[in-house]
Amino acid sequence: MLRLGLAVPSLVVLGFTFASTQAADFNLKVKTEDIKLGERLLGPALSSDDLKHRVVLLEFWGVNCGPCLAMMPKLANWNSEMSQHGLVVVGAHAQQATPDRIKSVALSRGANFTIVANARVEGANDFNAIPHCMVFDHTGAWIYRGHPQEAEAIVRRAVAAAPPAVLEGRKLAKLSSLAMLLKKEANLGQVLKQAQERASSTDPATAEEANFLVDKLTAAARKQLDTAVELRESDPVSAWKLVNRVATNFKGTDLGKDAAESLAAMKSDKSFQLELKAFQTLDQVRNLNLQIRKVPGDDSNSSPAYRSANAPLLRQIGNLVREMKKAAPDSKATQEAIEIAESAGAPIG
């Protein structure tokens, strides 16, 4: 961990002293409602309502914090695996850096979740080292504070125990069997169709619950499609995945049809496909860059020892970037890939 000098509401790094802190040293009464997200820099926009009824992992990190950067790919993996089951991951930057640098570093470490600046948690400015992780269960209660490396088992248990987020904490009496199916995202279309069929039930309670399900499932899917539109230019890979996710999960419904039509439009849009391929290649460059090993006692990316230790990786990065320069020279993805290659010392011609 890196020790911080804290300035409320923002955090500023004053040194690089490693530190460890016990959970008992923290305020353990904080809740999800105490989170103030600050300024969004990257990823989906989130409001306080988006955190309700979900398991929330909030990590304070910094661009100059080695342990923070080492954790980011793991957080991205957790987000990829568990976001569909109700997990929300937020990276709260806690050092002095420009927005562009924060975004660049986060993306280079594989961040696929929301990154914010100037976030704070009321009553929780009692830590002085990063990375610092706070985990809240679906009721909004604190369940963990400390290093994110120790949080995985806690997060997994919380996600497994949480009811489907789309129900917003409500327990269904008449349609409890449908509620159980919502634990698997692949069942969303099936549940929606059954709820639509029961929405006209002669039993008022059944009809009310069915209409509730229809409204919530429809709103959740529409929000994913709207988010895809927002991310289309800045993150075409995530946009593509979101639309495909709705098309797959809601196949056989009007929502699935709308998503499939959006996918077809994306496929026929040559400029989008060019950007999509460029960003997909950029992801490969980022992943290769994460595997590069520094030579102890040698900070140069041009020394014989460094180049020998990383020769295959540097060659792969160079080949990918050269392809990007030919196929999509004006793409933002290509520019970022060039910066990564130059920083790593990869030959790009």
Instruction: Choose among 176, 175, 205, 86: nearest CA to 137.
Output: 86
Q: Which residue has the tokens 């997200």?
A: 37
How far is residue 171's CA from residue 141's CA, in Å, rounded to a whole number? 19
Q: What is the pLDDT of residue 234?
A: 85
3-state secondary structure of 109: coil
Q: Which residue has the tokens 């991205």?
A: 76
**CATH code given to domain 2-161:** 3.40.30.10
2 three-class SS: strand
Tens digits of pLDDT across the chain (349 residues): 655 544 333 333 323 233 344 555 677 788 999 999 999 999 888 999 999 999 999 999 999 999 999 999 999 999 999 998 899 999 999 999 999 999 989 988 889 999 999 999 998 888 888 999 999 999 999 999 999 999 999 999 999 999 998 998 899 999 999 999 998 889 999 999 999 999 999 999 999 999 999 999 999 999 999 999 988 988 899 899 999 999 999 999 999 999 999 999 999 999 999 999 999 999 999 989 888 887 777 777 888 899 999 999 999 999 999 999 999 999 999 999 999 999 899 999 8
DSSP calls for 186-236 = GGHHHHHHHHHHHTT-SSHHHHHHHHHHHHHHHHHHHHHHHHHHHHTTT-H
pLDDT at residue number 28: 74
pLDDT given for residue 4 in this prediction: 54
How far apart, in Å, are the Cα atoms of 201 and each of 111, 193, 204, 211? 45, 14, 7, 10
Residue 3, pLDDT score? 57
Neighbour tally for 317: CB within 10 Å: 27
Query: In the chain, what are the domain boundaries?
Result: 2-161, 165-268, 272-344
pTM over 0.85: no
Question: Can you tell me whether residue 65 is helix, strand or coil?
Answer: coil
Q: Are strands 5-6 and 11-12 parallel, antiparallel or unpaired?
A: antiparallel
Which strand (E) or helix (H) includes residue 239? helix 236-249
Inter-CA distances, 249 with 113, 245, 331, Å: 21, 6, 31
335-336-340 Cα angle (round to 5): 120
Backbone angles phi, psi at 156, to 5 degrees: -65, -40
pLDDT of residue 296: 77
How far is CA 333 from each of CA 36, 107, 115, rounded to the nearest angstrom? 31, 11, 19
Which residue in this structure is represented by tokens 């059944």?
Answer: 206
CA angle 188, 258, 245 (to 5 degrees): 45
Cβ–Cβ < 8 Å for 126, 27: yes
Cis peptide before 329 (omega within 30 of 0): no
Asked whether the beta carbons of 133 and 148 are under 8 A apart, the reply is yes
